[in-house]
């Protein structure tokens, strides 16, 4: 086999490996989000805090 062929094979293999890594990261993040949703911890995991005043203000805004 020629050197050019070997280089192309290695480049293809590297591209495939990078694609697999990106798919794995996307799957991991999707599953992590689903876990938080299932556990009801989405807001906590994203450090979102709702104050009582915020809800009251939002309710008033919706009435307008």
pLDDT in tens, 4-25: 999 999 999 999 999 999 999 9
Helix (H, G, I), strand (E, B) or coil at 51: coil
Q: Is the dihedral of CA 44, 50, 51, 55 positive or negative?
A: negative
| Assessment of whether the complete model's pTM goes beyond 0.75 | no
Count up the domains in the chain and report the number. Answer: 1
Q: Is the pLDDT of residue 57 over 90?
A: no
* 36 in Cβ contact with 42 (< 8 Å): yes
What pLDDT, on the 0 to 100 scale, is given for residue 54? Answer: 66
Nearby residues of 45 by Cβ (< 8 Å), 6 or more positions away: 36
Domain span holding position 53 = 3-63
């Amino acid at each position: 086999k020629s050197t050019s062929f070997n280089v192309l094979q290695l480049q293809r293999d590297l591209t495939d490996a990078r694609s697999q890594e990106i798919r794995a990261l996307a799957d991991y993040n999707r599953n992590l989000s689903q876990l938080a949703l299932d556990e009801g911890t989405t807001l906590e995991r994203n450090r979102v805090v709702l104050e009582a005043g915020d809800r009251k203000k939002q309710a008033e805004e919706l009435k307008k």
